[in-house]
């Protein structure tokens, strides 16, 4: 990756972190699900009984480290999440650039992802999702780099192992990371069978270690500090017992009639989640992104049906930048959105809240840029369509900002108030 792209990604992360840190201590009390995870982090700091055993420990260790560094204050509770939110946006920029090779559109994808409200809200609360999804995005990025970049075989294998490590760390924050790991593993297996994108070169042993052994080992080792902290044996029996409790808890958790919403109502929700920083998806990105995703899905399915086994590996490796044998950008954004959404249809969990749409929604800005990339310089009244979309999304974000940032009156309604 050229120096300009690398430096831009770091700059995006720094700017995003600065935005997330402004007013991070507001509201000055724990809200929504924060008490669960902050109390769990405090129990890790003090070595008392684990107060949040219904999730793996890693994200709570990050929150605990943040509290230890910045104090047991609203700012300290949320600092680690803001940092991981910035990591997420940086990964989105790098990933889009890898897929499209277009610097301007990679910037567009990062901006649309930031303006989509979900990342801003979830990076400013002491909850688990921003941690696991940051690792998921870096896992996707490492996997994509292994597919598309020209490099030596040891480096390619190293990137695949790094991808597995990222997914293992994500799962050690929250189990939901495993669905994207499964999607990546299946994608790697498909490309291996087609002798495409260097997967046959990497070898089945490396793929098995990267997407099975490394994630499992990483997940297991994440429990070692927990066991040491609470003086529990680090044994197979103990690990099985702790993880069986996580499963039973989520299967039996009744949910809340006041907060739960069916997954199919998330797409076109027009009322904010008032209890969670007035979270509401940016209509320009979430609705426009669904239209773009439908286009991506159609192109992916068309290319998949037209692809023939045994095609030239070099031609397949170039297909990410052409409309040739296999539309890799469309395939990735479609698959990652779908698996992160459909998990809520398939898993036996009764509680479904709006912020669970955060991971799939993060792929919608990228879907828009992929559609723009395939179009021949679209313009409306002489203005690039990408600029119009960015301006519209930015205006919507500014309208939502005062409430999402918990500004006090009269600034909370400077752009109008929701009823």
Whole-number pLDDT of residue 315: 41
204-226 average pLDDT score: 97
Has residue 355 got a pLDDT over 60? yes
Three-class SS of residue 279? strand
Contact partners, residue 304, CB within 8 Å, separation at least 6 = 326, 331
Over the stretch 296-319, which tens digit does the pLDDT of each residue have?
999 998 887 776 444 443 343 334
Whole-number pLDDT of residue 54: 93
| 267, part of any domain | no
For residues 378 and 277, the answer to whether their CB atoms sit within 8 Å is no
Instruction: Give the span between the Cα atoms of 128 and 272, in whole angstroms.
Output: 20
Task: Please tell me the total count of domains within the chain.
Answer: 1
Three-class SS of residue 129? helix
Burial label, 388 (beta-carbon count in 10 A; 0-12, 13-18, 19+): middle
Question: Closest Cα partner for 196 from 97, 327, 334?
Answer: 327
Question: Closest Cα partner for 390 from 67, 96, 37, 111?
Answer: 111
Has residue 272 got a pLDDT over 80? yes
Whole-number pLDDT of residue 318: 39
CA distances to 129, 141, 223, 291 from 216, rounded to whole Å, are 20, 20, 12, 36
Mean pLDDT over all residues of the chain?
90
Instruction: Give the span between the Cα atoms of 378 and 355, in whole angstroms.
Output: 33
Contact partners, residue 57, CB within 8 Å, separation at least 6 = 44, 50, 172, 222, 223, 225, 226
Lowest mean pLDDT among 7-16, 131-140, 264-273: 264-273
371-395 average pLDDT score: 90
DSSP for 233-270? --SHHHHHHHHHHHHHHHHH----TTT---GGGSTT--
Residues in the chain: 419
| 1, part of any domain | no
Has residue 122 got a pLDDT over 90? yes
Question: Closest Cα partner for 242 from 55, 23, 29?
Answer: 55
190-199 average pLDDT score: 90
Instruction: Give the span between the Cα atoms of 306 and 300, in whole angstroms.
Output: 10
Domain that holds residue 175: 29-255+274-413
Q: What is the largest CA-CA distance in the chain?
A: 68
Whole-number pLDDT of residue 419: 52
| 24, part of any domain | no
| 265, part of any domain | no
| 7, part of any domain | no
257-283 average pLDDT score: 90
Has residue 276 got a pLDDT over 70? yes
Q: Which residue has the higher pLDDT, 213 or 414?
A: 213
53-80 average pLDDT score: 96
Structure tokens at 225: 């500090």
| Cα angle, residue 296 at apex, residues 295 and 299 outer, rounded to 5° | 85
86-92 average pLDDT score: 98
Contact partners, residue 395, CB within 8 Å, separation at least 6 = none
Percentage with pLDDT > 70 across the chain: 92
172-189 average pLDDT score: 97
| 162, part of any domain | yes
406-412 average pLDDT score: 69
Whole-number pLDDT of residue 36: 93
> For residue 323, what pLDDT band results from cuts at 50, 70 and 90?
very low
Instruction: Give the span between the Cα atoms of 378 and 74, in whole angstroms.
Output: 45
Most confident of 155-169, 250-264, 395-409: 155-169
| 260, part of any domain | no
Quick one: CA torsion of 234, 238, 243, 247, rounded to 10 degrees?
-170
Q: How far apart are the first and last CA of the chain?
A: 47
| 146, part of any domain | yes
Has residue 331 got a pLDDT over 60? yes
Has residue 410 got a pLDDT over 80? no
Over the stretch 34-46, which tens digit does the pLDDT of each residue have?
999 999 999 999 9
Instruction: Give the span between the Cα atoms of 313 and 33, in whole angstroms.
Output: 48
């Amino acid at each position: 990756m050229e120096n300009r792209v690398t430096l831009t990604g770091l700059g995006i992360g720094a700017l995003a972190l600065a935005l997330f840190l402004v007013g991070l201590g507001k509201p000055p009390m724990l809200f929504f699900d924060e008490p669960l995870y902050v109390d769990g982090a405090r129990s890790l700091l003090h070595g008392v009984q684990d107060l949040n055993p219904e999730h793996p420990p890693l994200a709570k260790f990050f929150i605990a480290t943040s509290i230890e560094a910045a104090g047991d204050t609203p700012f300290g509770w949320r600092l680690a999440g803001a940092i991981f939110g910035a990591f997420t946006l940086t990964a989105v920029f790098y990933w889009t650039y890898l897929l499209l090779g277009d610097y301007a559109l990679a910037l567009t994808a990062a901006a649309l992802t930031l303006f989509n409200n979900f990342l801003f809200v979830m990076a400013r609360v002491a909850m688990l999702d921003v941690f696991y999804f940051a690792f998921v995005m870096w896992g996707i990025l490492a996997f994509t780099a292994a597919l598309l970049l020209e490099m030596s075989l040891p480096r390619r294998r190293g990137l695949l192992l790094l991808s597995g490590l990222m997914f293992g760390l994500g799962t050690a924050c929250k189990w939901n990371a495993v669905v994207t790991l499964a999607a990546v593993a299946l994608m790697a297996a498909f490309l291996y069978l087609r002798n495409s994108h260097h997967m046959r070169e990497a070898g089945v042993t490396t793929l098995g270690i990267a997407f099975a052994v490394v994630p499992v080992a990483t997940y297991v080792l994440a429990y070692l500090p927990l066991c040491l902290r609470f003086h529990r044996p680090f044994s197979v029996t103990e690990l099985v017992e702790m993880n069986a409790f996580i499963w039973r808890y989520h299967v039996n958790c009744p949910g809340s009639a006041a907060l739960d919403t069916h997954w199919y109502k998330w797409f076109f929700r027009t009322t904010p989640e008032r209890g969670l920083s007035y979270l509401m998806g940016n209509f320009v990105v979430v609705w426009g992104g669904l239209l773009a995703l439908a286009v991506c899905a159609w192109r992916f399915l068309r290319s998949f049906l037209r692809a023939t086994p045994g095609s030239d590996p070099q031609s397949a490796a170039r297909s990410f930048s052409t409309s040739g044998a296999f539309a890799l950008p469309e395939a990735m954004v479609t698959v990652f959105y779908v698996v992160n959404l459909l998990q809520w249809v398939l898993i036996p969990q009764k509680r479904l809240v709006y912020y669970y749409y955060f991971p799939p929604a993060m792929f919608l800005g990228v879907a828009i840029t992929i559609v723009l990339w395939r179009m021949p310089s679209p313009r409306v009244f002489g203005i690039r369509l990408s600029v119009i979309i960015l301006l519209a999304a930015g205006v919507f974000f500014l309208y939502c900002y005062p409430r999402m940032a918990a500004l006090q009156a009269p600034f909370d309604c400077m752009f109008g108030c929701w009823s």
